[in-house]
Amino acid sequence: MELTTVDIDIGTRSPTVLMHGSDAATLGLHPLDRVHIGTDSGTVVGIVELSDELVDPGELAVTRRLGHVDGVVEVTPAPRPASVEFIRKKLDDDELERDELDRIVHDIREDRLSDVELGAYVCAMYINDTSLAETMHLSESMANAGETLSWQEEVVADKHCIGGVSGNRTTPILVAIVAAAGVTVPKTSSRAVTSAAGTADTMEVFCPVDLDAKAIRRVVTETNGCLAWGGAVNLSPVDDKIIRAETPLSLDPHGQLVASVLSKKQSAGSTHVLVDIPYGEGSKVSSLADARELAHDFRRVGDHLGMTIDCAITDGGAPIGRGVGPVLEARDVLSVLSGSGPGDLRRKSVRLAQILLECAGADADAGEILESGRALDRFRDIVAAQGGDPDVTLSELVPGRHERTVTAGRDGVVTHVDNRLINEVARRAGAPRAPGAGLELHHRVGDAVARGDPLCTIHAEDESRLAEATDHAERAEPVRIRPPDETLVERV
Amino acid sequence: MELTTVDIDIGTRSPTVLMHGSDAATLGLHPLDRVHIGTDSGTVVGIVELSDELVDPGELAVTRRLGHVDGVVEVTPAPRPASVEFIRKKLDDDELERDELDRIVHDIREDRLSDVELGAYVCAMYINDTSLAETMHLSESMANAGETLSWQEEVVADKHCIGGVSGNRTTPILVAIVAAAGVTVPKTSSRAVTSAAGTADTMEVFCPVDLDAKAIRRVVTETNGCLAWGGAVNLSPVDDKIIRAETPLSLDPHGQLVASVLSKKQSAGSTHVLVDIPYGEGSKVSSLADARELAHDFRRVGDHLGMTIDCAITDGGAPIGRGVGPVLEARDVLSVLSGSGPGDLRRKSVRLAQILLECAGADADAGEILESGRALDRFRDIVAAQGGDPDVTLSELVPGRHERTVTAGRDGVVTHVDNRLINEVARRAGAPRAPGAGLELHHRVGDAVARGDPLCTIHAEDESRLAEATDHAERAEPVRIRPPDETLVERV
């Protein structure tokens, strides 16, 4: 059928075209069917949506994702992409082959799948689970779909945390220790999406973090390490597109998680990787058994990809460190590197660094490197190489000047500090966009407190945000207190 | 956050708003998250998409599905709808309660779910299957979501075929017989989407079919029956929206199919329903066992809804009747009603009519009603009442004047006539939009043919369509011939 194209001002992810219902009926097309659109310069594939309001019969509305298509075009029904047949196959619980996963990853990268199909992919991987072989193939496919970094060094160390714990800013400390020990550790990190700060947000308090591949190489050559934002290098473009379909349903299929992490590590050229798997109430993994299973899969898939993986299963039931929010976490990091700071953050960072050093075959003592000040020196080198002020002091890291302290409503013992609620309070205060916003925790689980004792101090950069966050903290009780020896949690 | 609205010219199904990535980050929003949009006249819910090209920071692009929203609005993150939690629950294979299914159906009707969520719903129902209780609740929810018809009569007969068989135009004959027997049978049918003709397309050769509820009532009062297009009365608005997500993946979850059919029948006020379940190669149900299971579910759910259901499991491995395409099927219908016509179509129509009459408690002989000419008279009454010419003759039903006959390439026996391929040939010839297009079959399975014998004659309304359809028929071989006693089908 010949149709005349009209442009339509919409930024769809996939190559949508709008047709009038009567033209679609003539061609026997359903919504979301594919069509071939023949132009003078070749044929492109569009995904059909119907609209009797926005287009007239004889017209084809073309969105900008489709590229340059204009004038009169020939429209014919096109078969669905092979990747949709493979998603269908996985829905029927058949194992997917390597080339089938390649095809799916390719079509996701090129935005050739509709949201219905992408949703089906995620659900199929979630309900029918992935075999180890599928996870391996998927990791490779995803790694091959993006940019890659490569290194001269035989050992390239790296670290990933599956997330879910507030504070927990171990990465800058660990990278400083490992780099100081002479091991190459080109670390890229994410910004926060739903948390109060990502490592990239915290590091940005010290220095620029959006380094391209060339800048990363330069910083690593100078210092053995870097602390960059991963978004400026396109290591796993498919990952974000899959996450888009996982998030609305809070699905995080096991195999997809492993493939997502390890494909990025492979693209980054890493050879020895430590994965931090926190578990506990309010974190991503709820039981030790699940954490162990995930760790085994990371190791086996890593092995297949030629990487050495070590996993640390850690306590994820409560925040790590004192501060939550970019500046407040940066203060914790600088304190620990300077020899003081929160004990749990210091201890966890040293433990993880030691495991990674051992995994990478380096004969070095992480605790000694931290205590000697060599880690701090190396951290300052990295900050300088990335364009920040290497001489920054704690007094220059100023949290939001509007502050209020929430106090204990009763005598008792702190029995739980809730990651999710702490996050919400910090975000309401303005984190991570307002770097000084967030909160400081004055107590850890197990501490005895008296009525009126300070529990946490909320910081914000303006008064209305402060009021909103304080309100939330007083209502939601992110820090739970019970009388000593009380085991009843709630009567429902 | 305060944002200024801009209109965007896009006809999305769900209430999409576009935000700049930086604003979304400030609010901690992912793509497909919900937001509350506060205006002077109240709050509406939008589904977020990100675009740094189409909107600037501080702007909110609003699509027309959202209704009237303009000026500066207050945007805050909103929780996901409860229905999404219920879809998540079904993904985890938990049975859904009545009120949970109500909620899902309600949100689908109101277009409150994104395509990712709709895809997940269909996949969850497909992979995790539906219990009988779920199918019952779903049927009720879907019936309650649309318009309804109601009748004075105690017995209202109806019929549905789950489809997949070419030709097979039993409905007009059956309705004529049942109405002539004095039983009320207000039949609404669909148009073809991927087949060569729906009953509504075929009936439109005789008379107008887009009757609203009032017109249906008038025709039924005059004649006991009608043969209308269902699209003009909005009996199950949710069904089309669910089918939209099923089609791209060719999913047709069992429970969803039963709920879809029976909810429409309940909305139509039917009390006694015959369901035709063809099975065999190339139809929707492939084995007798599956057909039986489906039949049992139809009966049990119908029982729950207060309807009496009878199911006919029929041979669906080959087309029924001689013609495929609106005019050619109309010729078959008129021939059978006039006492001749294809034997398989006549026999099947009489058998189904007899079952429906018995189910409805009518003491009448379907064969006698047909042979006596009373069915033809009643058919002409219905055509007249719907505004067509009651005196139409076979010679006035003229197929497309461009025709070509495909002949047997060898001596042998017809072993298979493929529904799907026959459909494709008829559609390439122009059916159903060109009513005269389609094909006539000259042989049935089991017939002996000699090389050069005519197999089928293709009709089209223009020469280029004819050439395309003939080409396809010669390549795809919809009519398979093997030497007598040959059991080898293909060597691969």
Secondary structure in 3-state letters for chain B: CEEEEEECCCCCCCCEEEECHHHHHHHCCCCCCEEEEEECCEEEEEEEEECCCCCCCCEEEECHHHCCCCCEEEEEEECCCHHHHHHHHHHCCCCCCHHHHHHHHHHHHCCCCCHHHHHHHHHHHHHCCCCHHHHHHHHHHHHHCCCCCCCCCCCEEEEEECCCCCECCCHHHHHHHHHHCCCEEEEEECCCCCCCCCHHHHHCCCCCCCCCHHHHHHHHHHHCEEEEEHHHCCCCHHHHHHHHHHHHHCCCCHHHHHHHHHHHHHHCCCCEEEEEEEECCCCCECCHHHHHHHHHHHHHHHHHCCCEEEEEEEECCCCECCEECHHHHHHHHHHHHCCCCCHHHHHHHHHHHHHHHHHCCCCCCHHHHHHCCHHHHHHHHHHHHCCCCCCCCHHHCCCCCEEEEEECCCCEEEEEECHHHHHHHHHHCCCCCCCCCEEEECCCCCCEECCCCEEEEEEECCHHHHHHHHHHHHHHCCEEEECCCCCCCCCC
Interface size between A and B, measured as CB pairs under 8 A = 144
Alpha carbon of B13: minimum distance to chain A alpha carbons (Å): 9
Judgement on whether residues A187 and A301 belong to the same structural domain of the protein:
yes
Residue A134 included in any domain? no
Judgement on whether residues A216 and A326 belong to the same structural domain of the protein:
yes
Type of residue at B142: M
Residue A317 included in any domain? yes
- CB-based contacts of B193, cutoff 8 Å, min separation 6: A25, A28, A30
Judgement on whether residues B285 and B181 belong to the same structural domain of the protein:
yes
Query: Which of A54, A123, A193 lies nearest to residue B120, judging by beta carbons?
Result: A123
Q: What's the start-to-end Cα distance of chain B, in Å?
A: 64
Q: Is B244 close to A30, i.e. CB distance below 8 A?
A: yes
Judgement on whether residues A380 and A254 belong to the same structural domain of the protein:
yes
Among residues B324, B354, B385, the one where a domain terminates is: B385
Q: Is B30 close to A191, i.e. CB distance below 8 A?
A: no
Judgement on whether residues A417 and A453 belong to the same structural domain of the protein:
yes
Judgement on whether residues A454 and A305 belong to the same structural domain of the protein:
no
Distance CA B139, CA A76 (A): 37
Judgement on whether residues A32 and A166 belong to the same structural domain of the protein:
no
Q: Is A119 close to B124, i.e. CB distance below 8 A?
A: no
Residues of chain B contacting A191 with CB distance shorter than 8 Å: 25
Provide φ and ψ at B410, rounded to 5°: -160, 165
- Tell me whether residue B395 is exposed, middle or buried, using C-beta atoms within 10 angstroms of its C-beta: 0 to 12, 13 to 18, 19 or more: exposed
Residue A16 scores a pLDDT above 90: no
Residues of chain B contacting A11 with CB distance shorter than 8 Å: 18, 49, 51, 53-54
ipTM computed for the complex: 0.79
Q: Is A249 close to B87, i.e. CB distance below 8 A?
A: yes
Provide φ and ψ at A336, rounded to 5°: -60, -45
A362 three-class SS:
coil
Strands B42-50 and B16-19: parallel
B8 touches chain A (CB under 8 A): yes
Rounded (10°) angle between helices B374-385 and B171-180: 100
Q: Which residue in A111, A115, A210, A252 is the catalytic one?
A: A252
pLDDT of amino acid B456: 96
Query: Which of B91, B114, B126 lies nearest to residue A115, judging by beta carbons?
Result: B114
Share of chain B above pLDDT 70, in %: 98
Q: Is A116 close to B119, i.e. CB distance below 8 A?
A: yes
Tokens of A378: 């190396």
CA distances from A430 to A400, A437, B3, B136 (A): 10, 5, 17, 48
CB A31 within 8 Å of CB A69:
no
Q: What is the CATH number of the domain that holds B445?
A: 3.90.1170.30
Q: Is B114 close to A248, i.e. CB distance below 8 A?
A: yes
Q: How confident is the model at residue A295 (pLDDT cuts 50, 70, 90)?
A: very high
pLDDT of amino acid A9: 61
Q: Is A248 close to B117, i.e. CB distance below 8 A?
A: yes
Judgement on whether residues B89 and B169 belong to the same structural domain of the protein:
no
Judgement on whether residues A35 and A72 belong to the same structural domain of the protein:
yes
Q: What is the CATH number of the domain that holds B41?
A: 2.40.40.20
- How does pLDDT run across A385-411, given as a tens digit for each residue? 999 999 999 999 999 999 999 999 999
Mean pLDDT value of segment B301-324: 94
- How does pLDDT run across B249-265, given as a tens digit for each residue? 888 888 999 999 999 99
User: Which A residues in the span 366-395 are in contact with B, Cβ-Cβ below 8 Å?
Assistant: none
Judgement on whether residues A372 and A265 belong to the same structural domain of the protein:
yes
Tokens of A13: 């992810």
Q: Is A120 close to B249, i.e. CB distance below 8 A?
A: yes
Residue A434 included in any domain? yes
Mean pLDDT value of segment B146-152: 89
Q: How confident is the model at residue A11 (pLDDT cuts 50, 70, 90)?
A: low
User: Which A residues in the span 113-172 are in contact with B, Cβ-Cβ below 8 Å?
Assistant: 114-120, 122-124, 126-128
Mean pLDDT value of segment A356-382: 97
A87 touches chain B (CB under 8 A): yes
pLDDT of amino acid B170: 97
pLDDT of amino acid B1: 74
Residue A195 included in any domain? yes
Provide φ and ψ at B312, rounded to 5°: -115, 115
- CB-based contacts of B491, cutoff 8 Å, min separation 6: none
pLDDT of amino acid A431: 93
User: Which A residues in the span 19-58 are in contact with B, Cβ-Cβ below 8 Å?
Assistant: 25-26, 28, 30-33, 49, 51, 53-54
Q: How confident is the model at residue B11 (pLDDT cuts 50, 70, 90)?
A: low
Q: Is B11 close to A53, i.e. CB distance below 8 A?
A: yes
Which helix (H) or strand (E) element contains residue B73? strand B72-78
CB A308 within 8 Å of CB A425:
no
- Site of tokens 């209780």: B133
Among residues B385, B419, B444, the one where a domain terminates is: B385
Average pLDDT taken over every residue of chain B: 91
Q: Is B127 close to A87, i.e. CB distance below 8 A?
A: no
Please tell me which residue of chain B has the smallest CA distance to A122: B120
- How does pLDDT run across A101-140, given as a tens digit for each residue? 999 999 999 889 999 999 999 999 999 989 999 999 999 9
Residue B108 scores a pLDDT above 90: yes
pLDDT of amino acid A372: 98
A82 touches chain B (CB under 8 A): no
Query: Which of A30, A31, A244 lies nearest to residue B31, judging by beta carbons?
Result: A244
Residues of chain A contacting B126 with CB distance shorter than 8 Å: 91
Residue B392 included in any domain? no
Residue B100 included in any domain? yes
B351 touches chain A (CB under 8 A): no
Query: Which of A91, A118, A122 lies nearest to residue B126, judging by beta carbons?
Result: A91
Alpha carbon of B450: minimum distance to chain A alpha carbons (Å): 35
Q: How confident is the model at residue A203 (pLDDT cuts 50, 70, 90)?
A: very high
Tokens of A399: 């949290």
B7 touches chain A (CB under 8 A): no
- How does pLDDT run across A419-445, given as a tens digit for each residue? 989 998 999 999 998 999 999 999 998
Residues of chain B contacting A245 with CB distance shorter than 8 Å: 116
Residue B139 included in any domain? no
Residues of chain B contacting A465 with CB distance shorter than 8 Å: none
Judgement on whether residues B205 and B261 belong to the same structural domain of the protein:
yes
Residue A261 included in any domain? yes
User: Which B residues in the span 245-264 are in contact with A, Cβ-Cβ below 8 Å?
Assistant: 245, 247-251
Residues of chain B contacting A30 with CB distance shorter than 8 Å: 193-194, 244, 247-248
B102 is catalytic: no
- CB-based contacts of A182, cutoff 8 Å, min separation 6: A224, A362, A364
Q: Is B119 close to A124, i.e. CB distance below 8 A?
A: no
CA distances from A128 to A342, A368, A369, B91, B127 (A): 43, 48, 47, 10, 8
Residues of chain A contacting B427 with CB distance shorter than 8 Å: 28
Give the gyration radius of chain A's Cα atoms.
26
Q: Is B118 close to A114, i.e. CB distance below 8 A?
A: no
Please tell me which residue of chain A has the smallest CA distance to B117: A119
Picking from A222, A215, A153, A227, the residue whose alpha carbon sits closest to that of residue A183 is A153
CA distances from A240 to A144, A145, A227, A245 (A): 15, 12, 21, 9
Judgement on whether residues A273 and A316 belong to the same structural domain of the protein:
yes
pLDDT of amino acid A325: 97
Q: What is the CATH number of the domain that holds B207?
A: 3.40.1030.10
Distance CA B11, CA B72 (A): 22
Query: Which of B18, B194, B249 lies nearest to residue A88, judging by beta carbons?
Result: B249
Residues of chain A contacting B245 with CB distance shorter than 8 Å: 116
Number of structural domains in chain A = 4
For residue A101, what are the domain limits? 82-128
Which among A51, A93, A115, A424 is the top mutation candidate for probing chain B, defined by the most B β-carbons within 10 Å of its own β-carbon? A115
Question: Cis before residue B432, ω within 30 degrees of 0?
Answer: yes
- How does pLDDT run across A154-171, given as a tens digit for each residue? 999 999 999 889 999 999
pLDDT of amino acid A317: 87
